[in-house]
Every structure is written in C-alpha cells, then in structure tokens.
Amino acid sequence: MKKIKKYQGKKVLVMGFGISGLNAAHLLVKLGAHVTANDMKAPQDPTVVTDLEQDGIKVITGSNPLELADQGFAIVVKNPGIPYDNPLVARFVKQGTPIITEAELGWEIFEGHLVSVTGSNGKTTTTTLTQLMLAKSSTHNVKYAGNIGVSFSKVAEQLGPDDTLVTELSSFQLLGAPTIHPHVAIITNIFSNHLDYHKTRENYINAKLNITRNQTKDDFLVVNWDRDEWQAIARRSQATIVPFSRQNKSHAGAYEENGDIYWRGEKIMAAKDIRLIGPQNVENALAAIAAAKLMGVDNDDITSVLTTFSGVRHRLQYVLDYQGRRFYNDSKSTDIEATEVALQGFEQPVILLAGGLDRGYTFERLVPYFKKHVKGIIVFGQCKDKMKDAAEQAGIPTIIESENAITAVPEAWKISAPGDVILLSPANASWDQFPSFEVRGDRFIEAVEKLTGEKEKD
C-alpha cells in the first residue's frame, strides 16, 4: 500500500455505509483524515456505528443533512449508487467540492499491476476468468475486487508492488474515479443501462470510457469488436486497442473462427470445450484471454481455467438436474440484452421465469428469442403484463402468471418435461419484490431445492 499524504489533516465526508464506504472510512483514518460518515438509514447492526466511532469517526445516520455541505469538507467519498441529483450531493457539486468513489481511493493507495473490467453485461464473469488465469500463472498475489462484491480499497491495502489486482468497475464507480489508470482495461460491451441514473446514453458511454481516460499508448484497451458503435467508442481512447470478436471481425486480438478460439492466429482451444454455456460466455472468455495473453499467461493455464470454471453465482449459474430437467439461475439478467444471450445458450426447450421492476419499456425485442427457444413462460412482478404481451406475440403455448420468482418454480415444474431447461432470466431488475438480484437468485435456488429435495451443485 502506498503511504500517500493527500488526506493528511483533511476533513472528509463518506456517504453510504455499504462495504466499500465502511472500508473507505476506516482507511481514511489511517491516512490521517478527519472523517465524518453519513448514511440515510441507521444500520441494522449497531456494531457498525460502534466500530466507526471507536476509530474516531463522527457518525450521522437517518438523513443526509444539507448543512453538511457548509462544514468545510475538502472531499466527499460517495457510495456509487447515490445519484448526483441527491440534494446533498448536488450541493457539493454546485460548490465545487471534489466527489470521488471508493474505487478512486483504492487506486490511489494501490502499488501493483491493475487490470480493470467494465461493460453492460459480462463484467463479473470476465473479471473472474481473468483473475483465475493470471493467478494460475503467477507466483505473486492476484486478487479481484470492485463491483464484484469485494472492496477495492480493502484489497489494495493488502497488496504489494509485485501483485496484481483485477477490478470490476461499474459506470457509477468510474464517474468518481478521475485518476484511475489500469495497464489493461476491458470493455465487454455497451448497451443502454442505468439511464435513470445517467439520464442519456452518451453520459453512460462517457462514464464507461473513464476506464481508459488516463491510459497511454503503452497501455491496452481490450474491447468487443462485434459492433461498429463499439469500435468507434474504442477509438476515442489513447491506449493500444486490442479487439476480441466472436463474429470473426478482427484477427488482431482474440477471436472465434469456425468453432475454434484463437489469439492473433494461434489456436487456443475449441469453443465447445469452454465449460460455461452460451455465446455470451464465449465473448467473456475471449476478453479474458486477450487480457491474460497481454499479461504473459500461457495457453495451458488459459485452457485449464476455461475447461473447469463452471460460472459465477446468479450469472447463468447451473443449479442442479432433477428428473431430466436442468435448472439455471440467471438472476443477474436485469435487462433485455442479458436474457437474449441467455436464451441463445440453450438448444433444449426452455421454461422461462421472467419479470420484475417496470422501468417503462416493453419486450417486443424478445419475441424472436421466445419463438425459437421458449416452450412455456411464467411471468411475475410489476411488468408481468408487458412480458405476457410479448409471450403472446411469440405464440408461446403456455403462459402462466405467478406472484414472484419463488412461486414460479413449482408452476414451471408442472409444465416441464424431461429434457427441458427451467431458467430464471428475468430481463428486469428485482427491486419491485427483492432488495437485489442476489437475493432473488438465492430465493430461486432455495425454491428449487425445496421442490426437488436436492442441493445445488458446486
């Protein structure tokens, strides 16, 4: 960890008591700051406040008092999920107080080799694959952190100059990370996500591009080359561009051709031997291969990971087999694109569980995928009527309404047959019924285990 003096004697406000916020608050004390920690809610665990106060941190909970903007804070470390139109945040923006996220703080103290991953879909799987490949070939520590559920700054504290950190970074985090500078950056893809937060697609794209803002020609930007728009976005970077392509649109990086995976003309493996299913996971593998090769990983270590890694929880996760049916948990599919690619991963008939938070859009785009892959659908949540409309347009013979992703499980079982896939891939956020997609996925798995009497597979 770098011994920086930037925060020595400075008043710093930390907004948000998530994992990253709490770690940031304690780290800032170590860096000599005078820290105030604020959260809209009082934490359910009282030891959170006790631990902060014992570290000399002033704690304010229950609201974001506007008067905090008048107390002379030199910098604000904001939870990425707090929008910039939050009244207190907006006050700080108006008066020009620097606002960063914990990812920036983690970068400032990190002294090793940084690989960073962003994108609309596939970030977590790509981050995990990359970390596993690098760790398999390295004699030094290789860890992952960031939006993958592990605090960037906490891990950065523990690593030295010879170690490597692979970070998953969301657009929210990147907005508050002005100096972050990965040697290898990956953009998996860019769709139209989080427009309620960013307001416009261009704002969203610009936030994603912060991952490469400080890169030079001596650094690498690994980018999906399968859409003209993504190629144009990549050319806004000063880094050396390394493409990956499932559609064989470039041989300058990692690509698939005639069912095989290549790196710059050298065959790595057959795509069918990748244990993760679906075309989206071929893309994720290609991105990870490109990063791994740029970091010096050999082919044996790459293929060892890709032929054994069975997936990240909630991301097209195989749960179990029972009486000829295979259950998959894809709760992380919180947008239409993710469900499209999930359905393309199956040749077997699919019983689909879908629905969730109504964000105002409809699902006509899913109609051709429904026609090709789905034999029955269970719809639930705020947008169930819109999902039902798309299913009717597709001519799905069996359409059932259910309360949620838990009650949908026995309904799906009733209409299934041996050889079918029962797939939770909601195409919507979970917040109408569950606090997170993780909780939704966990409850789905519990319902599958209750129905079958079996336990999920590792």
Which residue positions form the known binding site for ATP?
119-125
Alpha carbon 179 to its chain's center? 21
Q: Angle at the Cα of 317 (from 313 to 320), degrees rounded to 5? A: 115
3-class DSSP assignment, residue 101: coil
DSSP 150: B
Alpha carbon 12 to its chain's center? 28
3-class DSSP assignment, residue 141: coil
Closest CA to 262 of 273, 248, 274, 275: 248
- The H or E element spanning position 129 is helix 123-137
Dist CA 293 CA 305 (whole Å): 14
Give phi and psi for 320, each to the nearest 5.
-170, 170
3-class DSSP assignment, residue 347: coil
Give phi and psi for 59, each to the nearest 5.
-115, 130
3-class DSSP assignment, residue 67: helix
Structure tokens at 290: 């490109």
The one-letter amino acid code at 301 reads: D
Give phi and psi for 301, each to the nearest 5.
-70, -35
Q: Residue 269 burial by CB count (10 A; 0-12/13-18/19+): exposed, middle or buried?
A: middle
Closest CA to 334 of 352, 365, 355, 362: 355
Cβ–Cβ contacts within 10 Å for residue 119, how many? 26
- Residues 234 and 187: beta-carbon distance below 8 Å: yes
- At a CB cut-off of 8 Å and minimum separation 6, what does 211 contact? 116, 118, 169, 174, 180, 182, 185, 187
- At a CB cut-off of 8 Å and minimum separation 6, what does 441 contact? 313, 314, 317, 329, 331, 332, 424
Q: Binding site membership: which residues?
A: 119-125
Closest CA to 353 of 416, 279, 311: 416
Dist CA 34 CA 14 (whole Å): 11
Closest CA to 244 of 216, 221, 225: 225
